[in-house]
Amino acid sequence: MTGKIAIFDCDGTLVDGQANICESMEAAFAHAGLALPDRHEIRRIVGLSLPQAVRLLAPEIADDLRTEVVDTYRQHYRAAREEGRLEEPLYDGIAGLLEELRDLGWALGVATGKSDRGLRACLASHNILDWFVTLQTADRHPSKPHPAMLEAALFEAGLAPADAVMVGDTSFDITMARAAGVRAIGVDWGYHTPQELLSEGAEAVAHSVPELKELLL
């Protein structure tokens, strides 16, 4: 082992799941009789815990209606997975990068707004679940950008903040990393702009997986 860990966001960093997220959110809003949010705004909240995401998309609705939207989203997303309609492809080159880091002795982790069930199903579908030593989700932690996910990941890996790097596509990831004292690298193939990532404190933004590899190593 190198004594280093790379912790990745999932949606927008490892996998492209935006279509499923947008469709489930639209279904949940429609079921509640609410105007559908713009898809650009839905993509902007990817990475947050689901209750926090809905709160930002519809700040004016009552708590009980917000809970209904959250529950319907989960039901729709789960049904899509169980019926084989869920598509969460790995971005090109990600599997190779993860494998190379692992072979070099890096520990790997994930910190995501997904549920435990959703994350494990996603990683298992790509046969990479057992590559990760720590999986942190919104089921057990406050929403990003609170640093709890990274703090738990470091505890489970037995490593210090100085040994870690967080890789993510949103300002939530970068702010979380900075709050935890962890190095932060952004990627530009997700849901927030490179300028936003840099302004939140990312040390750099990768524009390709080979560039991300250079930044990590």
Domain spans of the chain, in order of start: 5-16+89-216, 18-82
19-23, long-range: CB within 8 Å, 24+ apart, which pairs? 19/87, 20/77, 20/80, 20/86, 20/87, 20/88, 21/46, 21/77, 23/76, 23/80
Q: What tens digit of pLDDT does each residue of 60-110 get? A: 999 999 999 999 999 999 999 899 898 899 999 999 999 999 999 999 999
Phi, psi values for residue 108, rounded to 5°: -125, 145
- Bridge-based pairing of strands 134-136 and 183-187 is unpaired
pTM of the model: 0.92
Indicate whether 216 pLDDT > 70.
Answer: yes
pLDDT at position 81, please?
87
pLDDT at position 88, please?
94
One DSSP character per residue, 140-169 reads SSPPTTSTHHHHHHHHHHT--GGGEEEEES
Average pLDDT, the chain: 96
pLDDT at position 112, please?
96
Beta bridge partners of 107: 5
Q: What tens digit of pLDDT does each residue of 45-74 get? A: 998 999 999 999 999 999 999 999 999 999
Indicate whether 208 pLDDT > 70.
Answer: yes
Indicate whether 175 pLDDT > 70.
Answer: yes
Q: What tens digit of pLDDT does each residue of 184-202 get? A: 999 999 999 999 999 999 9
Indicate whether 2 pLDDT > 70.
Answer: no
Domain 5-16+89-216 annotated CATH 3.40.50.1820: no
pLDDT at position 101, please?
97
pLDDT at position 1, please?
52
Confidence band for 167, pLDDT divided at 50, 70 and 90: very high
* 3-class DSSP assignment, residue 195: helix
Residue % of the chain over a pLDDT of 70: 99
Architecture of domain 18-82: Orthogonal Bundle (1.10)
Residue % of the chain over a pLDDT of 90: 94
